[in-house]
Structure 1
Amino acid sequence: MTAKQPVPVVLSGRHVRLEPLSRDHLADLFAAGGGDEEVWRWMPTLAPRTAEELGAVLDARLAEVERGSSVAFAVIRLATGRAVGWTTYYDISTTDERLEIGWTWYGRSAWRTEVNTEAKWLLLVHAFEELGMGRVSWRTDHLNERSQNAIRRLGARYEGTFRRHRRRPDGSWRDTVYFSLLAEEWPAAKQRLTDRMAAG
């Protein structure tokens, strides 16, 4: 039996709601992180300096959703009702029961808060328990230690590094660090994440 294909859906928690990314989120998203070099430092695109530039990046994500190759979510902070970033499922294979979580960014107001932990918790519950995935993976720039630490805190395991894997927007080369979490590892990881969220 293969896993189910992810489709746009709303996933709700105590602090955040993930909802299908749309053009309606553009104003909030630009307010959250538009033009902020540090927010976009490790992304595969330069920091969008205008709402129009961010709209072009958003449209590229929506085109992937339209093709069925990814599912993109706006991350809504429930306390404000505003989008503070986005995240996606991509590299999806229902036959191989796997997907990747990536193309994730948050404005600075969401850094070092419950936003990322709960958003990832919602995505992992959905992937493993509702879609029937056997593997969820992440990849990031080898210099992006903040992202690597956040991925490790989810319970994911380091798998290896692809050297000189991708050219950065500034023309330099990055090594790409890979992590994964398997279905049989999820119950223990879920318990640790649940305990951490309960502790605040």
Structure 2
Amino acid sequence: MSLPASEQPVGDPVDPRPAPRPERITLRGRHISIVPFDAAVHAAPLFAAVAGAENDGLWTYLAQGPFADAERFASFYAAAAQKDDPLLFALVDPAGRTLGHACLMRIDAANRAIEIGNILYAPALQRTPAATEAMALFARHVFEDLGYRRYEWKCNALNAPSRRAAARLGFTYEGIFRAHMIIKGRNRDTAWFSLLDTEWPRARAAFDAWLDPANFDAQGRQRQSLEAIRAAL
């Protein structure tokens, strides 16, 4: 016999109201701005920033690319920019250079869960304060402006740099979905990570402290790592 309903374990009460869906807005930081992707504006400079055989490795774990020429690149991104899920944003530095893109995707407004994905960083953006600030801006928007409770990061389980990035940014590893997808004719096992709204205040404090100009020396080198700052909070 089953237990009476009053004796069965259930989850904590949660506000059942859905979150708003993300819109095409601009988020500005000190080092980077996140803007709605406009192929007419962003495709050509982004292609220039990521093109070339030396950058083919940028596309290994993405569903698209590499692209043979600027025309095919622009055509793909013109179509991608029209979608509402994934919702595509360009990453633009203060000099006006388009140095990457990222998407808010797999949007589940009813359960207030959303994913950050399809992240492409040009070499000029990688391992910079702007790269970290972009992720902080997205997370702040998701939690504080939109009110989501679960923020997800998923990547090919073989993509070691992406897995390290998720851990560095404060996401919690949840496990592997085996044989989850077929990408470019190959199996993809997917590593899942999440950051929850209850964890966001600590994660935000760590982002703010790491991005503080006082955390960098005269040569632009960090004084404390993001992980060390977060662990100390």
TM-score by length of 2: 0.80
Q: Percent identity?
A: 34
Is residue 156 of structure 2 the alignment partner of residue 141 of structure 1?
yes
Structure-to-structure mapping, 1:1-200, within 5 angstroms: 1-23=17-39, 24-35=41-52, 36-65=55-84, 69-78=85-94, 80-169=95-184, 171-198=185-212, 199-200=215-216
TM-score by length of 1: 0.92
Secondary structure in 2 aligned to 1:110?
Answer: coil
Higher relative contact order (CA 8 A, sep 6+): 1
Contact map agreement 1:3 1:97 (CA 8 A) in 2: yes
Q: Which residue of 1 aligns with 2:225?
A: none
Q: Please state how far the C-alpha of 1:34 moved relative to its aligned partner.
A: 2.5
**Root-mean-square deviation (CA), in Å?**
1.3
The count of residues paired between Structure 1 and Structure 2 equals 195
Q: Which amino acid aligns with 1:172?
A: R
| Unmatched runs of 5 consecutive residues or more in structure 1 | none
Q: Which residue of 1 aligns with 2:9?
A: none
Q: Please state how far the C-alpha of 1:64 moved relative to its aligned partner.
A: 1.6
| Unmatched runs of 5 consecutive residues or more in structure 2 | 1-16, 217-233
Aligned mates of 1:9, 1:99 — CA distance in 2: 16
Contact map agreement 1:34 1:54 (CA 8 A) in 2: no
Aligned mates of 1:174, 1:98 — CA distance in 2: 22
Aligned mates of 1:179, 1:119 — CA distance in 2: 18
Aligned mates of 1:18, 1:46 — CA distance in 2: 22
Q: Please state how far the C-alpha of 1:109 moved relative to its aligned partner.
A: 1.2
Secondary structure in 2 aligned to 1:63?
Answer: coil
Q: Which amino acid aligns with 1:63?
A: Q
Q: Please state how far the C-alpha of 1:77 moved relative to its aligned partner.
A: 1.2
- Structure (1/2) with the larger strand percentage: 1
Q: Please state how far the C-alpha of 1:88 moved relative to its aligned partner.
A: 0.8
Q: Please state how far the C-alpha of 1:114 moved relative to its aligned partner.
A: 1.4
Contact map agreement 1:99 1:136 (CA 8 A) in 2: yes
Aligned mates of 1:165, 1:55 — CA distance in 2: 29
**Which whole-Å deviations, capped at 9, do the CAs of 1:133-182 have from their partners, x for residues lacking one?**
1011010011111111111111110111111222232x321211010000
Aligned mates of 2:38, 2:162 — CA distance in 1: 25
Q: Please state how far the C-alpha of 1:60 moved relative to its aligned partner.
A: 3.4
